[in-house]
Structure 1
Amino acid sequence: MPKIPEAFNSITPIKDSEHFMVSAFIDHRLDGVIRVISIIKRNNLQPLYCVYCNTVHDCKTVQADVQIHSDHFGFPFHVSDVIYEGKDMENATHVLISTKDSDNNNTEYLPIKNRVSTNTFKFDFTICISSLFGKYNNVLQFAQTMEMYKLLGVQHVVIYNTSCGPDLEKLLKHYETEGVLEIVSWPIDKFLNPSPGWNFQQHKGDIHYYGQLVTLNECIYRHMYQSRYVLLNDIDEIIMPYKHTNLLSLMEDLQSAHPSVNVFIFESHLFPTTQFEDSGKFKRAEWNNIPGVNIMEHIYREPDRKYVFNPAKMIVNPRKVKQTSVHSSLKYNGDTYHVNFDVSRMVHVREPMQGNLTKDQLFVDKRVWDFEQKLIQNVDQALKLSGLLQCEKF
């Protein structure tokens, strides 16, 4: 029996249109409809159809319902859900989006994922890192963040990689070999002119921040039945428990106290890279030639400004979220809960937002130091296994 030809790239142009399909899933919450995460040009939307098949010779076509997400930030291309309802859909294994109501001569079908729902999960926590781009090479901070999350109980990290620097590529390969990192190729720049920022007026481009909202939504569906929780944050951000030793005990307590909540929101708190702790004890010679930020040197936290938007991030139950934005979920079942600052907050080490403040106007926050012994040991080991740190330096 001939096989259905599959699309092997993470972005597939839709024939005779300006749109793209990304990945397809059965949505068991909506009576088993097919949901295709897509990139749609908002002002040029023609009728779209779904061709779904369980063999090469057994395909059906139905009209699609296109749901463009609401938070497009003014960019012409945006993440969308293309939804299909039809007969015998539960047997379908492959699908494509077509501009014609009778078209099964295309060559590239998406395999349909999540065909079986389950309540047992391979991972407790998966982190979705939306995209690497611009030859990003912040190796030391990346390694420290990965090792910090592993100490906190994260077993799986997903990165959508457009481009990165040569040193970081070595580190990525190490974590991929170790089994903790899943790398999804994301060549968005081969198809569109991605914006390097979130503001269309300022940054221009075809699609918001290298397709960040496409990848975050795709990641939720990709891990819906693999992971109990999904963290949506960037690689320079650590959702840090302050009253618990790890994320599992934190989430068990939060979920027990708030059983109806499926979206947990954590405040972002910025630790400026321009302010260093005074003793210099973490300015290690071993790391002198490793590019990137050393988060252990940055213990000064900017004061929160209640009148300024806080770019909080989330831990979500992926089985309850239908659409997400960056700082909040758009469509979900259940409730949202803003986690108290004292219980957990996000450590975000980056360039300052309040650069005029002096060190004595900042707050000392040494939570990362509570993990210093294991963290340094594990970072050294990761850098050594990546070939970035010479063995004789140990």
Structure 2
Amino acid sequence: MWIDVDHSNEYRDLQGKYKNFESPKERGPAELFDSFDNDEFYQPRGLDSFPPYCGNHAKDLQILTSTSWYTIDFSIFLHNAFLDNRTGENIVRIIAVIHSTAPKPRIWCHFRNGSKGGASYVTSPIDFYEMNENHKFLYGGWIVSCRVPRSLARSPCDVFVSKYETHDYRSVQLPLRSIEPRKLQKMRINVCVSPIFGNVSYARLVEFIELSRLMGADHFTFYSYDVPKKLTEVLQYYTRLDIVTVLPWTLPIPPGLIWYNGQVVSINDCLYRSMPFFSHVAFIDLDEMIVPQNSIFSWKEILTASNDDRFAGYSFVSAPFPAQSDLHGLPGRSYLLTLLTTNRSTTLDGIRSKVIVLPYRVFEMGIHHVSRPWPDEQNYAVVQVNPKTAILNHYISGQCRLYACSQFVIDQTIPRKYSKALKKSFYQVLHNISPNFMNST
């Protein structure tokens, strides 16, 4: 089923729409786009949403988040725990990396009942759920769950996990993050990006963020692993403006033992972290962009026009844009990839699609799709957006190895609609970071 957005509106000149565009340094992101300061429920800094009744323990819980992975044994590594009450029952969901073939030991959740001094512990068994895109690697992503016992005097702020039915010093303590959505006053979109590592161009990163913001993105979450110095400077700049959250991504196992640096694990971690703060989450990578077509300019126009209580997400078909090899040899500052790369394959690909979801209606994300809507699994739908409304531009280096590319067309959508605003914000950001940033090494 396609969904469409009305294209009858007269073409609007983006240059006029953004004629008063000023850099974040000049005005600040809260003034440039919808004011976050006036939205009392918006709090994206570290994407940590501890239950409100845990206020007295917030500092202790924050200290616990400095630990990236909690080891149960050689086969089970726990990452983050979330309190999920979407079915009316409190259930702990833990994002984990687990050995795919090793027998699953019996493990337990322990909940403190009472004050620290005279506390007893109530125990609940853990169930295992394997994520769908582990690709038969030795380790994979899992969601492990346990029910919060109704006998607890109050809802928990943390959970202790161990291989033993009785809580003792061997249990590991995880802070519980709430996924309960804040009562947002307007649509908020977070962009979750797969772990970035290696030789990523700082120019591509700035271009990606600034173009996404023109499309309607409010915030970005990056998982960072071994990135170059200049890339770190760019991320720090956006972090100071509260536009970006950077989360360290150091796996508890050698990266080669899990699919693509634990991509699906980070995706689902970002899904759950986003639930309290954002109405929508876009899952795209640095070489991709969801591009509205015709007279539509922003993702929010598409999402608003097609809003439906039955929808859990929106899927966008992919269109490959082979980048010229000589462009990739140029210095990062010399060109904007999305403005110069306009040769698009006429073949659209629904398999390598990407999605924007309503996170509170999703249990598990895949890389290219929603693996499992939740909690109304039978009635929630993920709809295919008509390519006349929007497509996913995928900028690939060299030839179309993964696509059936045979014929090409010139696609000037981004240069025609966003060129002036993108150039202005791109160069202004680089200047804001440092007047000599583009010339430094």
Instruction: Tell me which interval the TM-score lies in, with the shorter structure as reference length.
Output: 0.7 to 0.9
* CA-to-aligned-CA distance 1:214-259 (integer Å, 9 cap, x gap): 111111110112101000111211111114121111111122xx54
Moved over 6 A (4+): 1-5
Following the alignment from structure 1 to structure 2, what is the Cα–Cα distance between the partners of residues 25 and 376? 40
> Structure 1: where are the runs of 5+ without partners?
195-204, 278-282
8 A Cα contact 1:138 1:292, kept in partner: no
Could you say what secondary structure the match of 1:127 adopts? strand
**267, 271, 279: which one pairs with 2:321?**
271
1:69 corresponds to which of 128, 131, 154: 131
Return the alpha-carbon distance in structure 2 between the equivalents of residues 220 and 52 of structure 1: 25
The answer for the alignment partner of 1:348 in structure 2 is: 394
**1:87 Cα deviation after fit:** 2.5
AA partner of residue 328 (structure 1): H
Distance 1:362 1:238 in 2: 19
Aligned to 1:318: 359
Aligned equivalents of 2:306, 2:331: Cα separation in 1: 40
Secondary structure of the corresponding residue to residue 74 of structure 1 = coil
Aligned-residue offset at 1:140: 1.4
Does the CA-based 8 Å contact 1:59-1:104 persist in structure 2? no
Partner of 1:301: 344
Give the Å deviation of 1:106: 4.1
- 1:120 matched to 2:190? The reply is no
Match of 1:373 among 420, 424, 427: 420
Quickly say closer, same or farther: Cα 1:254–1:117, change in 2 above 3 A: closer
TM-score where L is the length of structure 2: 0.76
1:153-168 paired onto structure 2 within 5 Å: 153-168=216-231
Match of 1:59 in 2: 121
Per the alignment, in what secondary structure is the counterpart of residue 426 of structure 2? helix
User: Which secondary structure state, in structure 2, belongs to the residue aligned with residue 252 of structure 1?
Assistant: helix
Equivalent residue in structure 2 for 1:18, among 75, 99, 104: 75
CA positional deviation for 1:58: 4.3
- Over the aligned positions, Cα root-mean-square deviation in angstroms equals 3.1
In the alignment, what sits opposite 1:46? 105
State the match for 2:36 in structure 1: none
**Aligned residue for 2:312?**
262
Deviations 1:166-201 (A, max 9, x none): 22111111111121100011111xx2111xxxxxxx
Q: Which amino acid aligns with 1:214?
A: V
2:179 touches 2:273 (CA, 8 Å); kept in 1?
no
Corresponding residue SS for 1:272: strand
Q: Partners of 1:391 and 1:187 in 2: how far apart? A: 29
Tell me the CA shift for residue 386 of structure 1.
2.2
- Structure 1 pair 115–213 and aligned structure 2 pair: CA distance change class (3 A): closer
1: CA distance between counterparts of 2:406 and 2:299?
Answer: 31
Amino acid paired to 2:371: L
1:351-392 deviation line (CA, Å, top 9, x unaligned): 14437x9x9942111111111111101000111122274599
After superposition, the Cα gap between the structure-2 partners of 1:314 and 1:88, relative to the gap in structure 1 and judged at 3 Å, is farther
TM-score (norm 1): 0.84
Cα gap change, 1:117 to 1:60, in 2 (>3 Å): farther
Alignment partner, residue 20 of structure 2: none
CA distance in 1, matches of 2:430, 2:169: 49
| Residue pair 1:96, 1:108 contacting (<8 A) in 2 also | yes
Residue 80 (1) aligns with residue 138 (2): no
Name the aligned partner's letter for residue 53 of structure 1. R
Offset of residue 335 of structure 1: 0.6
Q: Which residue of 2 aligns with 1:201?
A: none
Give the deviation of 1:122 after TM superposition. 7.5
Q: 1 or 2 for the larger relative contact order (CA 8 Å, sep ≥6)?
A: 2
What's the CA shift for 1:320? 0.5
Which residues of 2 match residues 1-394 of structure 1 at below 5 A? Answer: 7-9=64-66, 11-30=68-87, 31-44=89-102, 45-53=104-112, 55-56=115-116, 57-85=119-147, 86-88=149-151, 91-106=155-170, 108-114=172-178, 116-120=180-184, 124-133=188-197, 135-188=198-251, 191-194=252-255, 205-243=256-294, 244-255=296-307, 258-274=308-324, 288=331, 290=333, 294-304=337-347, 310-332=351-373, 333=377, 334-354=380-400, 361-369=407-415, 370-387=417-434, 389=436
Q: Report the AA paired with residue 323 of structure 2.
A: T
CA distance 1:88–1:240, shift in 2 (3 Å) = farther
Residue 310 of structure 1: how far off its partner (Å): 3.2
Q: CA offset at residue 63 of structure 1?
A: 1.1
Q: How many residues get paired?
A: 367
Deviations 1:296-335, CA, capped at 9 Å, x for gaps = 11111122166xx631000011011001110111110301
What letter corresponds to residue 372 of structure 2 in structure 1?
K
**Aligned-pair distance for 1:150?**
0.8
2:360 aligns to what SS in structure 1? helix
Q: What is the identity percentage for the equivalent residue pairs of Structure 1 and Structure 2?
A: 19
Single out whichever of 109-118 and 293-302 deviates more from structure 2.
109-118
Q: Tell me the distance in 2 between the aligned counterparts of 1:230 and 1:137.
A: 23
Q: Deviations over 1:55-91 (max 9, x none)?
A: 5434322211111123321012111111111234661
Label 1:119 to 1:4 Cα distance change in 2 as closer, same or farther (>3 A). Answer: closer
Q: Distance in 2 between matches of 1:120 and 1:289?
A: 38
